[in-house]
C-alpha cells in the first residue's frame, strides 16, 4: 500500500521541541539505522560468504556533551540549536574487517532510498594530522510519529577493527592529557597509525588472495 502524503494529515517536518522529543526521535533513528545495517550485513553474508561487519555501536550523545559542544561553537543551549548545529546527537559506529568493506557499506547505506546523505568525510583517503582514519557520513532519515514524519540526522563512522583500536587508544590519551599530549607520544601515535594502515592493506590483500582460492575451488 502506498502512503499518499498529500492526501493524509501526515506532514514532513524538522520540528523537535522538547528534550523528551530529542531523545525519542534520535533513539528511533538509531534503531532504524541499526536494523538497516543488520539486514545489509545478512544480505552481504549471503552474497560474499563473509560478514563484513564485526560489530555496531550506537549511542545518543549525553545532554551535557551536547550543551558543551554548543557552547564551544558559540551557540545558546536551545533545542533548536541542538537539532540544527549538533550533527552527532545520534551516532553509530560500524566496525568492519577490511578497508574495502568500508566503501561497500557506505555505498549500500547511500543507496537506501529513505536515507539522505548530507556530508561525507573520507579520513581514509585523507587521514587527519593525528593519523586518524575512518569514513564519516552525516545522513538523515525519516522517523514516523503518529501525526508527523521527522527527518533526523545521524553521524555514521565506518572503520576497520585496526582503525578502531588506534582511535580508541588515541582518544583515551588525548582525554588524559586534555588534548596536549607530549610530543613523543603524539609522534609514537602517528607512527602506530601508519602501522595500522599498513596492516589493513596487508590483511586486505591476504583476504583477496584467499577469496580467489575459494572461488577457484567452486568452479
Q: Which is nearer to Mg ion, 88 or 101 (CB)?
A: 88
Return the SS3 of 165: helix
Residue from 121, 142, 149, 199 that binds ligand GTP (CB under 6 A)? Answer: 121
Annotated active-site residue in 155, 188, 209, 218? 155
88 binds Mg ion (CB under 5 A): yes
Grid cell locating 219: 568452479
Q: Which is nearer to ligand GTP, 121 or 148 (CB)?
A: 121
Q: Are 79 and 23 in contact (CB under 8 A)?
A: no
Report the nearest approach of ligand GTP to the CB of residue 119 (Å): 8
Q: Which is nearer to ligand GTP, 26 or 44 (CB)?
A: 26
Residue 121 binding partner per list ligand GTP, Mg ion, none, with a CB distance cut-off of 5 to 8 Å that depends on partner kind: ligand GTP
128 binds ligand GTP (CB under 6 A): yes
Q: Measure the CA–CA gap between 213 and 163, rounded to whole angstroms.
A: 27
Report the nearest approach of Mg ion to the CB of residue 187 (Å): 25
Give the single-character DSSP code of 177: T
Residue in the shown chain whose Cβ atom is closest to ligand GTP: 132
101 binds Mg ion (CB under 5 A): no
Grid cell locating 146: 503518529
Sequential DSSP letters for 82-113 = HHHH-TTSEEEEEEESSHHHHHHHHHHHHT-T
Is 46 annotated in the active site? Answer: no
Burial 59-95 (b: 16+ CB within 10 A, else e): ebbeeeebbebbeeeebeeeeeebbeebbbbbbbbbb
Residues 31-90 interacting with ligand GTP (rule: CB under 6 A) = 88
Q: Measure the CA–CA gap between 51 and 90, rounded to whole angstroms.
A: 25
Give the single-character DSSP code of 179: T
Contacts with ligand GTP: how many residues (CB under 6 A)?
A: 9
β-pair type (90-96, 148-160): parallel
Report the nearest approach of Mg ion to the CB of residue 157 (Å): 9
Residues 136-165 interacting with ligand GTP (rule: CB under 6 A) = 136
Q: With CB under 6 A as the contact rule, which of the stretches 33-41, 47-55, 107-115, 126-134 interacts with ligand GTP?
A: 126-134
Q: Measure the CA–CA gap between 184 and 145, rounded to whole angstroms.
A: 52
Q: With CB under 6 A as the contact rule, which of the stretches 13-21, 22-30, 49-57, 125-133 interacts with ligand GTP?
A: 125-133
Residues assigned a catalytic role:
155
Amino acid at each position: 500500500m502506498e502512503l499518499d502524503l498529500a492526501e493524509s494529515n501526515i506532514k514532513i517536518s524538522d520540528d523537535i521541541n522538547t528534550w523528551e522529543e530529542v531523545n525519542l526521535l534520535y533513539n528511533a533513528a538509531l534503531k532504524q539505522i541499526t536494523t538497516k545495517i543488520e539486514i545489509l550485513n545478512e544480505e552481504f553474508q549471503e552474497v560474499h560468504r563473509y560478514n563484513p561487519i564485526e560489530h555496531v555501536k550506537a549511542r545518543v550523545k549525553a545532554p551535557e556533551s551536547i550543551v558543551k559542544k554548543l557552547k564551544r561553537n558559540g551557540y545558546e543551549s536551545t533545542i533548536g540549536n541542538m537539532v540544527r548545529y549538533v550533527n552527532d546527537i545520534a551516532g553509530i559506529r560500524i566496525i568492519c574487517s577490511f578497508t574495502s568493506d568500508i566503501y561497500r557499506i557506505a555505498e549500500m547505506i547511500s543507496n537506501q532510498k529513505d536515507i539522505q546523505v548530507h556530508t561525507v568525510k573520507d579520513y581514509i583517503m585523507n587521514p587527519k594530522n593525528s593519523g586518524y582514519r575512518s569514513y564519516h557520513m552525516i545522513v538523515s532519515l525519516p522517523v514516523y510519529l503518529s501525526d508527523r514524519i521527522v527527518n533526523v540526522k545521524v553521524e555514521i563512522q565506518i572503520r576497520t577493527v585496526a582503525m578502531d583500536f588506534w582511535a580508541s587508544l588515541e582518544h583515551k590519551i588525548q582525554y588524559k592529557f586534555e588534548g596536549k599530549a607530549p610530543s613523543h607520544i603524539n609522534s609514537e601515535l602517528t607512527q602506530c597509525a601508519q602501522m595500522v594502515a599498513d596492516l589493513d592493506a596487508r590483511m586486505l590483500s591476504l583476504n583477496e588472495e584467499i577469496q580467489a582460492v575459494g572461488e577457484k575451488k567452486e568452479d
